[in-house]
Structure 1
Amino acid sequence: MSERAIGNKLRDPKQIKECRKNMELKKIRGISEKREKDLNKLNIFTAEDLVRYFPRDYLDLTHTVRISECYHNDIVLLACRVSSPPQTVYNGRRSFVKVWCDQGGERFSAIWFNAPYVKNNLKAGEEYLFYGRVHNKYGMGTPSMVNPSFELREKNYRLKGIVPVYGLRGTLTQRALRDAIRDALQKVPVVSAIPPELIRKYALPSLSEAYRKVHAPESLSDRDEAAERIALEEYFILISAFRFMKGGKEDARVFRYSATARETAEFAARFPFTFTDGQKRAVDDIYENLKSPKRMNRLLQGDVGSGKTAVALCGIYMAAKSGYQAAFLAPTEVLAAQNYALVQKYLPEFRSAFLAGSTSAKEKREIKKALKEGAIDIICGTHAIIQEDVETKNLAFCVCDEQHRFGVAQRSALGEKSAGADMLVMSATPIPRTLSLIFYGDLDISEIKDKPKARCEIVTGIVPPHKYENMLEYIGEEAAKGNQSYFVCPKIEGDDEGALMSVTELFDELKNRLPRVRFALLHGKMKDKEKAEIMQAFKDKKYDCLVSTTVIEVGIDVPDATIMVIYNAERFGLSQLHQLRGRVGRGTKKSFCFLLLGSDSPEARERLSVIKNNTDGFRIAEYDLRMRGGGDFMGTRQSGKMLSEIKNLRYPPEVIFEAKKLADEAVSCGDISLLRSLALKKYESLQDVVLN
C-alpha cells in the first residue's frame, strides 16, 4: 500500500483506533514483559516509538584499516594475527586480559577490562578481526585496542556490513532490539505529512522505505539518504507547527505604555558604558513593539557578553515607568540573584523583590501578597515565580533570561500570569539567523552582534601534551595573584577504555599537582542548592579554581575568572566551546582559554582552529552547522521532545531549509488536515523543550 493510500486510510477515526491497538509493544515478536519494561525506560511505549528509535551509531565493517593509520580514540576494524597467548595482568586492584597482535610486521596490544572469559576465546597464531577503540594518546610508543569485539577472520559472520547500534537499558541486547524493530517495521504504517502533490513535484523518496533503510542500511549512502528523508519530514512538521501557532500568538495589545523614547534613552544613560549599535537597535525594537497594537513576543539573541541584560532592563524600565509590573525570570538562583542586584542598582526608584526556592516561607507569603496587591513593581526570581499560587495585579512585561534553560511551557506559564503580558526571551547561544527564524518561529527576533568596547579579548590556544605541566604551573602562579580558573571536562564519570577522565578524577589529580591552590568541584548530579552555594563561594573568591562539567556553561559573572581549561575539547560542539570560553573575560583583565585534545586527528585540529581564530559567536555557529551537519548541530541545542527522536541522525543543514521551502508551499495545497493535525500534536509536545 502506498503512503498516500495509508494516509487516506488513517484519516478514518475507526481505522486509527484499530491501528493504535495493533501497535502495542506486546504485539511485537520477542517482546516479553521484562523487555517491555526495559523499553519503557527508553521512552518506548508503542511499536511506533520503536520504529522511531533510531541508531545512535553504525559500525562500518565493510573494510579494515592498518594500525599505523589510526589516531588516538579512532574506532576501527583491524585484521591481525594474535601473536602471544592471552595473559591476565594485575594492576593494583584492577586486572585485565592482554594479548599481542601482529599486522604485517606492525605490533599492537589488545586489552579487555572486566572480561576474564576472553582468555579462553583467543588462540595465539590465529587470524582475527578486532573492532574497537585505538589508544595511543601521544602518538608515541606501541598502540593498543581497549575492549575490542572480535571474531575469527575465517568465520566472519558478525563483524561485517553496516551494523546499527542502539542505546540499551536493563537486559536489552543489540540483537533483541534489532529483531524487535524489524518486526515493528512490518506493523507500523508510515504516513508522510507532506502533501502528495509536493512529494510528486520534488520526487521525494518514500518515507516508509527511508525508515527501513535507516535501521538496516546496505551501505553508508543508504543510511545517509534515509536520514535526510526522515529529517526532512520532521523539520517540515516542526516548521509547520510554528507557522500554525504564530498567527494565534499575535494578540491585540492589552497594556498601553506611557514611557517615552526620551525617558528610555535617559535610563540607558545610567549604565557606565555607551550602548553598542546592536543594543540600541534591540531597545528600539522593544519600544516599537510596546507602542504597537500587537502584544510583543520577542527573542533577544546575543553573543556572550553582548549586553543583553542591559537591554532587558530598558524594557523593564518602560513597564515600571508606565505604572505596570515586570517579571525577570532566570534558570538558577545564582543568576536570578545577580539580576536582582542589577535591578536594585539601576532601578532604585521602583519597588523590587526576589522570589526563589530558598526564600523562607514567611517571605514568600509576604512577597506573594504584595505582588497581588501591586505593592511590588519588579519581581526577580527562578521557577518559583511561575507557581500557580503566585498572582499579580498588572503584570505587563516578562523577561526569560537564558531562554535555552526554559521550555515552551515555562515561557507560557510566565505569560499566563497576566493576560496580554509582553514577553522578551533571551538566548546567549547564537545560532544562524536562518535557523532562528525556523526554530523560534513563534517569536520575532532581535540580534546583538557587537560587544561593549570595555570587554577584553580572550586569547585561545590549543595546548600540546608537552606543554601541560607549564600550563598548570602558570595557573598556580595566577591563583597566587588572585586570578581564578575553570577546569571543564565532558563527563561526570570516566570510562573503562581510558579515553575520558571523570570530573572527580580530574579534581583529585589537580589537588595533588597544585596543593596550594583551593579547588572546588561542581557537576550536574549535585542538588541545585549545593551547586548554587559552590558557584557563589567561587564568585566570593573562597576558591581559586572550579573543576566542573558543562553546568557552568551558563552561570554568573566572575570578574576575576581569567582562565578556562577545557579537556577533550574535540568532544564539544564549537558553539558550546564558545559558550564555555565566555565564562572568562567578564571583567577588564586579559583572559585565556586553553583547549586540550583527547584526539590528535586532523579533523579535531581543524574544528578547534575555528574556535582559536574566531571570537564571533554567530560566525562560529555557522561553522558549527556546516562542519557537524544538522543532526549534531541541533542535537546539542535541544532536549525534551522537539527533535529528540532524530538527534542521532546525520544529515546536511540544507535539509532544514528544504523543509522550510516545503512548509511555505504546503499552505497553498488543497487538503492539509493531516498536516495540521500532526503539526499541532508536535507543538503540544514542545512543553518540555529546551533550546540551547
Structure 2
Amino acid sequence: MSYYGRRVSRPTSSPGKTAAMEIQRQPVDNLSGIGPQTALKLQKLGVHCVQDLLFLLPHRYEDRTRVHPIGSLTAGMSALIVGTVELSDVLPKGRRSLICRIGDQTGFINLRFFHFSANQQAQLKPGTQVCCFGEIRHGYAGLEIIHPEYKIIHSRENVTEDSLTPIYPLTEGLRQNTLRKAVKQALHLCLPHLTDWLPAPILQRHKFPALAQALRTLHCPQPNLSSHDIQQSSSLKRLAFEEFLAHHLRMLQNKLRQKQWRAPVLQADEGYKKRFLASLPFRLTKAQRRVIGEIETDCANNHPMLRLVQGDVGSGKTVVAAYNALLALASDFQVAVMAPTELLAEQHLRNFSQWFAGFDCAPVFLTGQLKGKARQQTLESIADGSAKLVIGTHALFQESVHFAKLGLVVIDEQHRFGVHQRLALREKSQPTGLRPHQLIMTATPIPRTLAMLQYSDLDLSIIDELPPGRKPITTSVIPSERRDEVIARIRHWIEKKHQAYWVCTLIEESEALQCEAAEKTADYLRDALPDVRIALVHGRMKAADKDGVMQAFKRHESDLLVATTVIEVGVDVPNAGLMIIENPERLGLSQLHQLRGRIGRGDVESYCLLLYQSPLSESGRERLKVFRDNHDGFVIAEMDLKMRGMGEIMGTRQTGQVQFKIADLNRDKEQLERVQQAAELICKDHPEAIQPLIDRWLGDAGRYAEV
C-alpha cells in the first residue's frame, strides 16, 4: 500500500514480536513523504526510526473540530472558520501586504499576508470559499488573521477534524503537516502490534491505560479534552512512568553487570590502619568511621566498589578517601585521585602529603600545567608503577597516561565531570585485567527522590556529622539599600586582619554578563575601600590565572576576593570568615549552601550576609528565611526541591546526566516515587521485559552509570 511509503508494507497477518519490532525499527525515511533531507532534520528531534515518532509528543493542541461563526470571534482566540472571499487587494502603503476579506452570514474578517505570490492572489478571488485557521487579532480595519493556514474548499466539503490537532516540536526546515503525516503513518503501522511491556499488575495498580491507547490519546485527543486534562491524563502519566522505569532499570542493569567484573581485594593489617589513624591531627567522627567500615567491606570483595559518599561541606570526606587509598596502597595497588580544578587538586595534594608523610608513598601531581621533562618523568613513574598515589585533574584520563596497577579511583565533586571522562579513567586499569574500585565524593546534598533516579546504580554513604569544633555560621538577610553598612562592616572586619568574599550573581545564564558584573563590583569596592587589597576571580579567566588569584588569597596577599559562583568549589581559606552574597534570591538554596561552605573553616566567628534586591517576592522571602535558619545541607536540599521543583535542580546541578523524552521532573514527581517498587516486581517476575523497556526509551544512549 502506497500509504505506508516506498519500502514499508503492513504484514498480511498479525506479526510476531520480532516482526513487529522490525517494523518499528525501520528508518524513518521509509515512510511516505520523508526523504533523506527530511530524515536528517528529524534526527535533530531525536527521531531515527519509525518507533521514535510514536514518542515524539505534541507540546500543544489546536481545536479544529468545529467551525466558528465569524461573528462570534474575539481577539486572542484561535479558531477554524469558513467564509466566502468578498474582496482581495494588495495594499502598497507601509509594509506591502495582501488583504483578503472573507465573510459568512454572521460577519466578516480580514486575512493578511505579508509574503504572497501572484498565484496565491489569483486563488483568493471574490466568490471563492475558504476554510482557514489562525489566531484572531485586532487590525486597522477590525479583526484579522495574519498568515492563516487555509485551503480552497467546495461547498459540501468536510473541513473539521475528528480530534484535536497536534502541534509538534519542530526544527528549521520541517513543517507541521510533514510531521503530522509521518506520525499518522507510524501510529497506523505500529499501534496494532505494539507490545506492552508493563506487566498487568502494574497497569492495574496505577490505573494506567494500555500503551497503544495512551499513544492514541496523546497524538489524537478527543475534542472535549483541554490542555490541562491532557497534561494530567493517565495516558501521559503512564508514559512518564515507563520512561522513568527504563532509566531506573538501566541503572540496576549496570549495577548487576558491575558485580560480574573482577576487582582487586584491598586490605590492610590492623597495625597499618592504626598507625594511619594515630598520625591524623584530629579524631574521626562516628559518621566517618561508619562510612569507612562500609568502604572496607566493599574493598574486601573481588568485584568493584562503586560508592557515592555524600557529606556536607566540611564533614571530612577527604580523609575518608585517604583511608580508602591506604587500603589500596597497603595491597600494592595504585590510587588515582581526580579533582575538577587545579586549585582543589592542589588542596588534596597538601592533605594527602601530610597524612601519608610517614608511609613512604609521596603523592605525584599531574595537571595540564605540568610540561616538558617534569611531565614525562611523572608519566613514566605512573606507567612503571613507582608512583603509587597520583593526584590531579582531568589530565589523569588523557591517552598519554598509563597506570601499571590501578586499584582505586577517587573522584571529587563528581557532577563536575562528564560521563566519558570518568569512563576513560576507569579504563586505565585494563593492563591488570581488573577493574578499579571507585569512590565518588560530593558535597552537593542530593534529595532522596533525585538520588533514586540519578544514582540507583551506586551504593550510597552519607557523612551526616560535622567534626567537633566547627563554628556555626551566622547568616543575615539584608536589603541592598543598606549596602553602605555592609561595606563598613567589611572595613572593620579586614582591620582585624581577617579576609572576606564578595560573591556576584546574575539571573542571566550569560557567563560574560556575570563576569562584567563582578568586574564592575570590584571597581566599585576599590573606590569604596581604597585601603583594602581587592582581588577578582571569574569564570572567563584562564585556569592558571584563576588558580593564581585563589592561591594568593589563601596566602593573604589580598583581603577581599570578589568572585562569581566559581568559588563554589574551592580551597580552604580558614582566615576568610565573612561572605557577602549579592542577589541571593537568584540562586537555589543548595548553591547558596555550597557558597556559604567556603567560610566557617577557621577559629574565627563566621558570618554570611545575603544582600538582596528590594522588593523581595513572598516566595523569595520564604526561601531566604529557610536558608538563614538551616545549616544542614540535606535539609536545605529537600527544601530546595520542594520550593523550586526537581527539574530546575537537576538542570543546574546535574547537567547532562539524564535526558528525558517525555517525563518532566516537576510534573511527574509522583510517578518517579512509584518506580522503585515496579522495578523490583519486573526484575523478580518479568525479567524478559527489562531489555525491551530499556531499548524502547534509551536505545543506544550512553551508559550513565558506568563511571
> Which of 176, 190, 195 is matched with 2:198 structurally?
195
> Which of 632, 637, 651 is matched with 2:653 structurally?
637
1:413 positional shift: 2.4
What is the SS of the residue equivalent to 1:584?
coil
Alpha carbons of 1:690 and 1:401: their partners in 2 closer, same or farther (altered >3 Å)? Answer: farther
What is the SS of the residue equivalent to 2:674?
helix
The residue that corresponds to 1:626 in the other structure is 642
Partner Cα distance (1:178, 1:467) in 2: 54
Alpha carbons of 1:14 and 1:193: their partners in 2 closer, same or farther (altered >3 Å)? Answer: closer
Partner Cα distance (1:538, 1:213) in 2: 62
The residue that corresponds to 2:66 in the other structure is none
1:625 positional shift: 2.4
The residue that corresponds to 1:615 in the other structure is 631
Establish whether residue 606 from structure 1 lines up as the match of residue 606 from structure 2: no
Q: 1:88-126 CA deviation, whole Å, 9 max, x = no partner?
A: xxxxxxxxxxxxxxxxxxxxxxxxxxxxx9xxxxxxxxx
Given that residues 336 and 391 in structure 2 are in contact (C-alpha distance below 8 angstroms), is that contact kept between their aligned partners in structure 1? yes
Ranked by relative contact order (alpha carbons within 8 Å, sequence separation 6 or more), the top structure is 1
Moved more, 524-533 or 178-187: 178-187
Q: Which runs of structure 2 are paired with 1:330-345 in the superposition (5 Å)?
A: 330-345=339-354
Alpha carbons of 1:324 and 1:57: their partners in 2 closer, same or farther (altered >3 Å)? Answer: farther
Establish whether residue 511 from structure 1 lines up as the match of residue 523 from structure 2: yes
> Which of 13, 26, 37 is matched with 1:18 structurally?
26
What is the SS of the residue equivalent to 1:511?
helix
Given that residues 399 and 424 in structure 1 are in contact (C-alpha distance below 8 angstroms), is that contact kept between their aligned partners in structure 2? yes
> Which of 359, 364, 381 is matched with 2:370 structurally?
359
Q: 1:118-161 CA deviation, whole Å, 9 max, x = no partner?
A: xxxxxxxxxxxxxxxxxxxxxxxxxxxxxxxx975995989xxx
Q: Which runs of structure 2 are paired with 1:143-162 in the superposition (5 Å)?
A: 152=138
Given that residues 458 and 593 in structure 1 are in contact (C-alpha distance below 8 angstroms), is that contact kept between their aligned partners in structure 2? yes
1:485 positional shift: 0.8
Partner Cα distance (1:297, 1:410) in 2: 16
Establish whether residue 572 from structure 1 lines up as the match of residue 587 from structure 2: yes
Establish whether residue 586 from structure 1 lines up as the match of residue 590 from structure 2: no
Partner Cα distance (1:545, 1:623) in 2: 31
The residue that corresponds to 2:439 in the other structure is 424
Q: 1:166-190 CA deviation, whole Å, 9 max, x = no partner?
A: 9999x89xxx887787666546659
Q: Which runs of structure 2 are paired with 1:21-170 in the superposition (5 Å)?
A: 21-22=29-30, 152=138
What is the SS of the residue equivalent to 1:384?
helix
Matched AA of 1:555: G
Partner Cα distance (2:21, 2:502) in 1: 57
Partner Cα distance (1:210, 1:549) in 2: 48
Alpha carbons of 1:152 and 1:261: their partners in 2 closer, same or farther (altered >3 Å)? Answer: farther
After TM superposition, the score normalised by the length of structure 1 is 0.72
The residue that corresponds to 2:574 in the other structure is 559
Establish whether residue 448 from structure 1 lines up as the match of residue 463 from structure 2: yes
Given that residues 630 and 656 in structure 1 are in contact (C-alpha distance below 8 angstroms), is that contact kept between their aligned partners in structure 2? no
Alpha carbons of 1:15 and 1:49: their partners in 2 closer, same or farther (altered >3 Å)? Answer: closer
Alpha carbons of 1:361 and 1:310: their partners in 2 closer, same or farther (altered >3 Å)? Answer: same
Given that residues 292 and 320 in structure 2 are in contact (C-alpha distance below 8 angstroms), is that contact kept between their aligned partners in structure 1? yes
Given that residues 487 and 545 in structure 1 are in contact (C-alpha distance below 8 angstroms), is that contact kept between their aligned partners in structure 2? no
Moved more, 375-384 or 405-414: 405-414
Moved more, 605-614 or 224-233: 224-233
What is the SS of the residue equivalent to 1:445?
strand
What is the SS of the residue equivalent to 1:450?
coil
Matched AA of 1:245: N
Alpha carbons of 1:264 and 1:26: their partners in 2 closer, same or farther (altered >3 Å)? Answer: farther
The percentage of counterpart residues that share the same residue type is 33
Alpha carbons of 1:525 and 1:193: their partners in 2 closer, same or farther (altered >3 Å)? Answer: farther
Moved more, 633-642 or 395-404: 633-642
Q: 1:506-527 CA deviation, whole Å, 9 max, x = no partner?
A: 4314422442244444444444
Establish whether residue 266 from structure 1 lines up as the match of residue 275 from structure 2: yes
1:655 positional shift: 2.2
Instruction: Structure 2: give runs of 5+ residues left out of the alignment.
Output: 1-12, 62-75, 77-94, 96-135, 147-164
Q: 1:314-337 CA deviation, whole Å, 9 max, x = no partner?
A: 111122123222111111111111
The residue that corresponds to 2:383 in the other structure is 372
Partner Cα distance (2:182, 2:483) in 1: 52
Matched AA of 1:373: D
Given that residues 267 and 299 in structure 2 are in contact (C-alpha distance below 8 angstroms), is that contact kept between their aligned partners in structure 1? no
Partner Cα distance (1:261, 1:676) in 2: 49
Moved more, 536-545 or 244-253: 536-545
The residue that corresponds to 2:506 in the other structure is 490
What is the SS of the residue equivalent to 2:409?
strand
Instruction: Structure 1: give runs of 5+ residues left out of the alignment.
Output: 59-78, 80-116, 118-149
Computing the radius of gyration over CA atoms, which structure comes out larger, 1 or 2? Answer: 2
Partner Cα distance (1:665, 1:390) in 2: 44
Over aligned residue pairs, what C-alpha RMSD do you find?
Answer: 4.4
Given that residues 499 and 559 in structure 2 are in contact (C-alpha distance below 8 angstroms), is that contact kept between their aligned partners in structure 1? yes
1:576 positional shift: 1.9
1:204 positional shift: 1.7
Partner Cα distance (1:558, 1:41) in 2: 46
1:340 positional shift: 1.1
Given that residues 305 and 586 in structure 1 are in contact (C-alpha distance below 8 angstroms), is that contact kept between their aligned partners in structure 2? yes
1:441 positional shift: 2.0
Matched AA of 1:350: C
1:357 positional shift: 0.6
Given that residues 47 and 53 in structure 2 are in contact (C-alpha distance below 8 angstroms), is that contact kept between their aligned partners in structure 1? yes
